[in-house]
Amino acid sequence: MGTQNSLEGKVIVVTGAGGGVGKAVALLAAAQGARVVVNDLGVSLGGDKDAQSPAAAVVAEIEAAGGQAVASEDSVAQWDSARRIIEQAVSTFGRINAVVNSAGILRDAIFHKLEPADFESVLQVHLFGAYNTSRAAAAHFREQGSGALVHMTSTAGLIGSIGQANYAAAKLGIVGLSRSISLDMARFGVRSNCIAPHAFSRMIESVPGLSPEEQERYLEKRRQTTRPDQIAPLAVLLCSDAAKDITGQIFGARGNEVYLYSQPRPIRTLHRGEGWTPQTLAEQLVPAWRSSFTPAERTRDVFGWEAI
């Protein structure tokens, strides 16, 4: 599988690995020497029961290139099935070194039309899924004194997006989860980081707020310039020993650009010796801080979708 393999001897679980970013990470991890559990709940294109599942297809691709992998079609959304994913890694390859949480779904809707079931299902897959696989791996990591978790977050939560309150809530929740894991598990040599990827995949085939013409131009540009394979190197780095001192961070990747996100910290203070009332806050705080308030921006306002 080549020289200078950064993941040689490691066993990595990649969820949502039947396509998109997850597939790209699984392929590169295998190319870098890892044995990979390719997890995906997806069905074959066209629903043909006799056709190869997305997970099995990725395993076949890895094996054809000389790598080692096994398919998992368990769901991350329930504790028992998520635990089976981790146990499959251990029973098949003898250990677990890293988990990349890439599984996800979309159920987009403007908030006043967002159904409870669609809110819950998105949190179940993204946020609960990240917890389930990470928690299942944590006992193994603790026992061996090392381990890496990489979670896919999103600018939908970090910055903002229209029609994606469920997705944004789940993705920002993952940031809090990762940060807490990084603190709780540091004593056991376990690290946890997030990546906010910009990549075309089956999960972004519609973008609320764009006209059909704008959307087609946007998607075509995304296909060409923000590919899943451009996200994979960062995820592989964070699983490797080269990142053994990196934890609790939020990274981004867009095309050939990588970046580091800031994390919430106080930026302004205002003190009043006699305390505050709603009236004095309105008179003093609002005008003093107005220029520091974060504007109601969306991801494309910050990054500029035309420039992608």
CA–CA separation, 220 and 133 (whole Å): 33
- Which residues, in sequence order, are CB contacts of 30 under 8 Å at separation 6+? 1, 36, 62, 65, 67, 68, 69
Burial class (CB in 10 A: 0-12, 13-18, 19+), 305: middle
CA–CA separation, 202 and 222 (whole Å): 12
- Which residues, in sequence order, are CB contacts of 264 under 8 Å at separation 6+? none
Contact 79, 130 (CB under 8 A): no
Active site residue 131: no
The catalytic residue among 131, 167, 259, 261 is 167
CA angle 58, 60, 63 (to 5 degrees): 110
- List the catalytic residues: 167
